[in-house]
Amino acid sequence: MNPYLELAFGVIIVAAAVWAIVKRVDVRLALLAAAFALGVLGQDVPAIVRQFFLTLTNEQFVVPICCAMGFAYVMRLSGCDQHLVQLLVKPLRRFRLLLIPGAVVVGFLVNIPVVSQTSTAVAIGSVLVPLLRAARISPLTTGSALLLGCSIGGELLNPGAPEFRTISQALSTEDHVIPSTECVAHVFPLILPQLAVATGLFWLLSVKHEAHYLREIERQSPPESPAPAQPPEFRVNLIKALVPLVPITLLFLTGPPLQVISIPKNWLIDVDRPADLLHFDSRLIGAAMLVGVVLATAVGGSSAWDSARAFFEGAGYALTHIISVIIAATCFGKGVDAIGLAKHLSALISNRLTLLITASGTVPLGFAWICGSGMASTQSLFQFFVEPSQSLDVSPLHVGAVVSIASAAGRTMSPVAAVTLMCATFTETNPFALVRRLALPLLGGMVVVILLALLMSNA
């Protein structure tokens, strides 16, 4: 088949997949169907099949993601996540003006140790939603603040973030493994400005809406409505509040540049098998999560007896709702590669730094908006930017940071993302209304990220 005709048919298949997802067809079904159609078009269906099984059994993803979700479930069971949230929320109760940006920051901070956005929303929603509603903040603003904080990318400051498994695997060799802490170092100077700009714009947009909302409820409320009963004060257990921070602390202490704790490699891998070296980092992340699970079990009281069940329920949730989307998106990416679309993209941006950085900040954002998964977007698209970044002498880790942040922003704007649906359920709002409120702040934040990334690339 003529290459250009093949490319045209491929674009139609991709557009059909996008249309199916917008029409609420299951994301995994739409992406897998498109992947096999692209494989047929590119005459390489076996590559799609191999990619399916390779990703399904890939320890680089399964171990850290399943252990991280298991850890999140045990945090919820033991109540440790609630003690951390209450500790962070306590200062906000005194200042109504700071409730909206404060809710976003609390979500961002809790998402660092609890890398699952949905689990973060569950952990803080039960505290923040009643707090903001008692302060007469509208359900729409409450849900939007919850979604923005939980999903904008706090997990990208955790070396255990699943996005970094993709970047590390793509860049590591048997002789040199890229540690996740290096990925964090490249994300840090970009994600904080993204958080500041997006939160600031969201706060400004919310002020007018809240003024109108207050006028409406004052007009509709009876003149002497009784004050709602105050819930009993939550007593924070500092030990429980610190348990969620243990895994991330261990990962920073065992990885560069600190490396104050040295973990013998034979604890986690077979040192006689050189190929096992590529698995050490992912198993280290899993081990750090397991240490957190043990500590949560120790302080969890009577809930300790159910901690094993909770851990494996969390791991099962990860396999069903996270890894399955990664598998489908990875196969879709392989299909796109089979028809040569990736090569055309690489050729377009290989000699243009501005296009490279702009594409790395916009293409993953759009893909994550479609599929509702930041991890799946990073997994599918990062590999397309590796060779162009190397040809321009730009660190692939720097480009990977932009891809990860853009993927997180796209997920936050996606009405089909699990965290969006969870926040809408908590606040009894429409998920489309939540993402409409956040679209402009997130896009503004991404413009700043792309500009900063360009400046840093030229420095």
Q: What distance in Å separates the CA atoms of residue 434 and residue 413, rounded to the nearest whole number?
A: 8
Work out the angle at residue 315's Cα, subtended by the Cα atoms of residues 407 and 178, and round it to the nearest 5 degrees.
50
DSSP assigned state of 394: -
Tokens of 292: 């957190």
Burial class of residue 295 in the structure, from the number of CB atoms within 10 Å of its CB (0-12 exposed, 13-18 middle, 19+ buried): buried
pLDDT tens digits, 195-208: 999 999 999 999 88
CB atoms within 10 A of CB 150: 33
CB 77, CB 307: distance < 8 Å: yes
72: nearest Cα among 14, 23, 117: 117
Name the nearest CA neighbour of 152 among 79, 82, 201: 201
Judge contact between 137 and 124, C-beta under 8 A. Answer: no
Residue 227: what pLDDT? 47
80 neighbors 67 (Cβ within 8 angstroms): no
Q: What are the percentages of helix, strand and coil residues in the chain, rounded to 5? A: 80, 0, 20
Could you count the other beta carbons within 10 Å of the beta carbon of residue 324?
Answer: 19
Report residues of the chain scoring pLDDT below 50.
Answer: 224, 227
Beta carbons within 8 Å of 154's beta carbon, 6+ residues apart? 107, 108, 109, 110, 111, 112, 120
Q: Looking at residue 96, what DSSP letter applies?
A: G
Q: Rounded to whole angstroms, how far apart are CA atoms 113 and 11?
A: 39
Structure-token pair, residue 196? 């500041």
- Asked whether 114 and 128 are in contact (CB, 8 A), the reply is no
Domain boundaries, the chain: 3-214+238-261+271-458
d(CA 130, CA 231): 10
Q: Which amino acid is at 234?
A: F
Determine the residue type at 443: L
pLDDT at position 1 is: 65
pTM: 0.86
Q: Are 209 and 141 in contact (CB under 8 A)?
A: yes
Is-cis flag, bond preceding 257, omega within 30? Answer: yes
Give me the pLDDT at residue 231, please: 58
Cβ–Cβ contacts within 10 Å for residue 3, how many? 10
Q: Check: CB of residue 180 under 8 Å from CB of residue 255.
A: yes
